Structures are given as structure tokens and as C-alpha cells.
Amino acid sequence: MPIFFLSSFFSYCMHRLIQKINDCLAVPLQIIHYYLIKSHKEAAKYEKKVMVLDFVAPTPLGNSWGLGGTCVNVGCIPKKLMHQAALLGQALQDSRKFGWQFTEEVEHNWMTMTESVQNYIGSLNWGYRVALREKNVTYENAYGEFVGPHTVKATNKRGVEKLYTAERFLIATGERPRYLDIPGDKEYCISSDDLFSLPYCPGKTLVVGASYVALECAGFLAGLGLDVTIMVRSILLRGFDQDIANKIGEYMEEHGINFIREFVPIKVEQIEEGTPGRLKVIAKSTKGNQIIEGEYNTVLLAIGRDACTRKIGLDKVGVKINEKTGKIPVNDEEQTNVPYIYAVGDILEDKLELTPVAIQAGRLLVQRLYAGATSKCDYVNVPTTVFTPLEYGACGYSEEAAVEKFGEENIEVYHSHFWPLEWTVPSRDNNKCYAKIICNIQDNERVIGFHVLGPNAGEVTQGFAAAIKCGMTKEQLDSTIGIHPVCAEVCIRSHLIAQLS
């Protein structure tokens, strides 16, 4: 029997997973994009048949994309590239102080950037198709839906239906952006599913929401020179260290981004058609009845994402979901309540919504199922980075979560502001960068939280995350010799001071 991967939108991790699964198994499911290619020897050993169903339902504005899921097409990859475009704009300004002279006015061209980014994404889509073919994975660009035990129906975009059966299924259907459910939202607003391929510069933009997606998109749009406003319902970056989240907000505000706090949109009207057109946004205070209005060229909704689990026939096979969130509870082996159906990625209940986490979970799942391995995915101490203009890398507990878990008296916080050497000559943003380390006093001052705000925060955090996973203590951190002059040296020996309580 084959194995099925159901994947309408999941992240690119699934591609590799498919490859791996092809190496080891024999069934179909509906997703998968990215995973370590195992040897042909192993494939021969297991002789498994694998099929992937992947289908992207178009956005309300009609946009869709190719193989690879959210991360590759409308997430991490285009986001990081557009963040880079914004950083280059800042670098151009800094370069004058380093002696570069240019007389012509420097302008950013949205279409050039978007075309370059989309061309790169196209090459990734193609690469995944080829890799699937090379690994003899059957790929169908069709929407998968369970219709009975061990059976899925695949419907392609022409409406042609086919039935497939499989021994095991893996669901990795990911999430899609949520809409506000107010007049005008689906007609006139865009989401991150539209932004990265927008065929015109968005102009004056209102970003609604205050988490990762909102702040990252607002950050690069402002960095490209656009007039950007963020409408915040409550706090910035819920779930992250709030001390750091507020520093990110302050930095963005100082760099020209407007914040409208404690308001939510209640209506969006079109004033003028165009590319971009003009929209009127009416918003209401979350604290009272105050109503405000504003005019923008583009309204980007980044208010969270919904798991794509409600229209894939899970009820037909008895897979339980959390009715409120749509998320799927699984055991520590990514198995749903129906033993032959597994799930990975953003659709899992109480798990991190990050591509590398899904890759790891899928890879280990396949090794357990078909290669006799026993390792399970470790969802603790997962590093991540928020690519705001001032990048934020984190691993482990936020200060709030550490206090809640261990008690304030049992944690010690060490921190420091710092000024990257590269920023001194252009005289910018002195003491805006910041590092904070949280230690568990009861456990030999083991480092349980790592937070850094500054250039290349992801590169900095990745290495420290390995040390944290190995159980690094504050003493070991202090005994590490620094590299001079780099930002990361602030995190080690004597640079960090204990926070006054």
C-alpha cells in the first residue's frame, strides 16, 4: 500500500520529508515538501510507494502559487529577501559615512524586487518537482479529502476526482491567513499570501495585527521607504519576551513607523480603484466607543492564521480536532487519535509554528515508522528569529514565562545594551541593541532563555541554541572566549550584568 501526504499549503519542509518517505515507505497522504534525501539503497530496502497531494486554494484576490507551501512561496523565503532589500537601503545610507559617494537619488523599484524574488521562488518550485520525480514520489496537484477509512479523494483544478487508498497518511496542510469578517475586508484588503507577489508598489500601507507577520512586513515596507502604520489591538508580539517586544516597537517608531494602539478596524471602503487604489479604514477603540478614520493605498491583514483542517474530511475518518482552533492534537509521536493518520507542522495543537520544527518532526516520524529509529521531536528550546528592522533572536523562555514557571526568586536575568561597531561610524542607533540571558538559579544557573536584539540576530542565536540544547550554564558561558569585535560577544564573559530587581 502507498503512503499519502496531504498538503494544500504546508511549508517547504514537506518536500524533503516526501523524499525521505519515498526512501522508506509505501503509501499516499496529502502534503510534504522538504527533507533529507536518503540513499537509494534504503529506498530499495523499504520499497515504499509515496504520493503527495498538494493544492493551493487561491486567495480572495485570486493569487496562488507552486509547490513548496507557505514558507517557500508566501512566508519565510520572500519575507527574508524583502527584509534584505530594506537592510540594503539602510546600508546605502550608512555607506556615505564610509566614503561612498553617489550623486543620483537612490530609489527603490518594487517591481524589480518582486520579480527577482518570484524568479527565485520559481526555481525552488521547480527544484522540488524534480526532486520528487527523482525519488519516484507520485505528485498530484489536487485537493485531498478523506472520504472513508484509508481512502482519500483527490480533486484537481478541473474538478476531476480520483480515489486513492493508503496504509498510512500524513497531514501537513498548514494554515492560511485569517480575515477580520468586517465589511470590505475580503474585497479590498490583502494578506501575506498576496503581498510578496503584488504586481504594484503598495504605497501608503496600514498593517493590521502586531505579531511576527505584521511587524516583519511593516518593517520591510517602511525600510523600502513607504509610509506605514500598524494598528495594534493589544500588545506587540504576544508570547515573546515583552521587554524585547517593546524595544522592537520603540525602534520601529523611531524609524518612522506609525502605531495606532488599541484600535481594531470595523469597516474598509474603497475610495478609488487603482494599483494601488485608495481605501478608507474605519476603526474602533478597544477601550471605548471612539471611532477613527484613515486613508491608505493598501490594507494588509496580519491577524493570525487558521489551520486548514476543517475541509479535508477528518470527520469522515474520526480524527479529532480542537473545535475552537481547528488544531489537531497528537501524541509525542505525531500520531492523531486515528492510529494510521499522522500530522506535522502548523496544524498541531500546542506546538510551534515554525518550518524547521515541522521538518524535524517529519524526518524523525519517518525514521521511526520505517527505519526502526526511536528518537522523538524535541519541541523545547527551539530557536527562532523575528526579522523586524532590528532583528530579534530568541531561544527558550521569555522572562515572563520563566518567572511563571520557576518563580521570580529562582531566576537570574543578565542583560546589556550594546552598539554594533558597524553602526558607530554612521552614528546610528546607539544602545538600541540588547541581549538578555535568563538563568535558573536552582539548576546551577543553567541558561533557560536567550534573547538578542541586533544585526544578524538569527545567525547569533543559532549557535547559542546548540549550546543551550547541550545544557549550558552561566559559568560555561562566562568561560567562553569572545570573538572581537562582533555583536555576539556581548552574550559572553562579563559583558552581561545582573538585572536589578
Annotated binding-site positions for NAD(+): 209-216, 304
Q: Which of 384, 388, 440, 461 contacts ligand NAP by CB under 6 A? A: 384
Residue 245 touches ligand NAP, criterion: CB under 6 A: no
Q: What is the CA radius of gyration of the chain?
A: 24
The active-site residue out of 15, 415, 417, 484 is 484
Would you tell me the crossing angle of helices 399-406 and 242-254 to the nearest 10 degrees? Answer: 170
Buried b (16+ CB within 10 A) or exposed e, 419-435: bbeebeeeebbeebbbb
Burial class (CB in 10 A: 0-12, 13-18, 19+), 459: middle
Nearest approach in angstroms of CB 454 to ligand NAP is 16
Q: Which stretch binds ligand NAP (CB under 6 A): 30-38, 274-282, 383-391, 479-487?
A: 383-391
Q: Give the three cell numbers for residue 100.
A: 561612498
**Closest to ligand NAP by CB, 237 or 402:** 237
Q: Which residues are annotated as a binding site?
A: 80, 144, 209-216, 304, 346
Q: Please report whether residue 11 would count as binding ligand NAP according to CB under 6 A.
A: no
Q: Does 72 bind ligand NAP (CB under 6 A)?
A: no
Q: What is the contact mask toward ligand NAP in residues 269 to 308, using x (rule: CB under 6 A)?
A: ---------------------------------xxxx---
| Min separation Cβ 444 and ligand NAP, Å | 30
Does 252 bind ligand NAP (CB under 6 A)? Our answer is: no
Interface size with ligand NAP, residues (CB under 6 A): 24
Q: Give Cα 496 distance to the centre of its chain.
A: 30
Nearest CB to ligand NAP, comparing residues 169 and 212: 212
State how far the Cα of 465 lies from the Cα of 416, in Å rounded to an integer: 19
Q: Which residues of 92-114 are buried (b: 16+ CB within 10 A; e: fewer)?
A: eeeeeeeeeeeeeeeebebeebb
Per the omega criterion (within 30 degrees of 0), is the bond before 356 cis?
no
Q: Does 394 bind ligand NAP (CB under 6 A)?
A: no
Across 95-150, where does the E strand assignment appear? 138-140, 142-148
In the complex with ligand NAP, the residue whose CB is nearer, 97 or 238, is 238
d(CA 296, CA 257): 14
* Interface with ligand NAP, residue 261, by CB under 6 A: no
Tell whether residue 266 is a contact of ligand NAP (CB under 6 A): no
Stretch that binds ligand NAP, among 53-61, 164-172, 230-238, 271-279 (CB under 6 A): 230-238
Output the DSSP codes for 352-382: ---HHHHHHHHHHHHHHHHS--------SS-
In the complex, least distance from residue 311 CB atom to ligand NAP, rounded to whole angstroms: 20
Q: Using CA atoms, how far apart are residues 297 and 203, in angstroms rounded to an integer?
A: 6
Interface residue with ligand NAP, options 235, 266, 282, 371 (CB under 6 A): 235
Of all helices (H) and strands (E), which one includes residue 94? Answer: helix 76-97
Taking CB under 6 A as the criterion, the residue among 386, 395, 453, 465 binding ligand NAP is 386
| Residue from 191, 64, 177, 77 nearest 123 by CA | 77
Residue listed under C-alpha cell 510578496: 196
| Given 353, 391, 399, 445, the residue binding ligand NAP (CB under 6 A) | 353
> Rounded distance, CA 319 to CA 317, Å?
6
Select the residue interacting with ligand NAP from 13, 244, 264, 477 (CB under 6 A).
Answer: 264
User: Which parts of 189-218 interact with ligand NAP (CB under 6 A)?
Assistant: 208-214, 216
Closest-approach residue to ligand NAP (CB)? 211
140 vs 185 by CB, closer to ligand NAP = 185
484 is catalytic: yes
Contact between 172 and ligand NAP per CB under 6 A: no
Among the residue ranges 275-283, 291-299, 380-388, 431-439, the one whose residues contact ligand NAP (CB under 6 A): 380-388
For ligand NAP, the closer CB: 264 or 492: 264
Cα(16)–Cα(345) distance, integer angstroms: 13
Output 21 or 198, the one with its CB closest to ligand NAP.
198
Per CB under 6 A, does 354 bind ligand NAP? yes
Annotated binding-site members for FAD: 80, 144, 346
Reading the block at residue 467, the C-alpha cell is 549550546
Residue type, 144: G
- Residue 367 exposure: Cα atoms within 13 Å on the Cβ side: 16
Name the minimum Å distance from CB 177 to ligand NAP.
7
* DSSP-assigned letters across all residues of 146-162: EEETTEEEEEETT--EE
Smaller CB distance to ligand NAP: residue 382 or 433?
382
Residue 485: asked if its preceding bond is cis (omega within 30°), the reply is yes
Active-site residues, by number, are 484
User: Residue numbers of the site for ligand NAP (CB under 6 A)?
Assistant: 180, 208-214, 216, 233-235, 238, 264, 302-305, 353-354, 384-387
